[in-house]
Amino acid sequence: MSSCSKKEEPIFQKIKYDLSSNYKDSLGTKIIPNKNYQYWAYMSYYQNSGKAKYTVLKQGGNTLQKQNIKKEPTLRGFFEGCHPNYCCNYIIIIENNKIKYLKTKEEFKEFIGTIDNLEEAMLLARTDDYILDTDIKGSAYRIKDDTYELHLMKFHEYPSQKESVEIKIDKKGNVKTKSLGIYCKGQKCYE
pTM of the model: 0.86
Q: What is the mean pLDDT of the chain?
A: 87
Sign, CA torsion 27/29/30/31? positive
Average pLDDT of the segment spanning 26-43: 91
Q: Residue 79 pLDDT > 70, yes or no?
A: yes
Position 1 confidence tier, pLDDT thresholds 50, 70, 90: very low
Q: What is the pLDDT of residue 71?
A: 66
Question: Quick one: average pLDDT of 123-138?
Answer: 90
Does residue 25 surpass a pLDDT of 80? no
Distance between CA atoms of residues 126 and 175, nearest Å: 12
pLDDT of 57 higher than 80: yes
Report whether 125 contacts 114 (CB < 8 A): no
Beta strands at 139-144 and 13-14: parallel, antiparallel or unpaired: antiparallel
Instruction: Classify residue 104 by its DSSP letter.
Output: S
Q: For strand 86-95 and strand 39-48, is the pairing parallel, antiparallel, or unpaired? A: antiparallel
**H or E element at residue 111:** helix 105-112
Grouping H, G, I as helix, E, B as strand and the rest as coil, residue 75 is: coil
Instruction: Choose between 191 and 73: higher pLDDT.
Output: 191
Residue 21's pLDDT is what? 64
Q: What is the pLDDT of residues 173-183, one digit of tens each?
A: 999 999 999 99
Amino acid 86: pLDDT = 87
pLDDT at 82 over 90: no
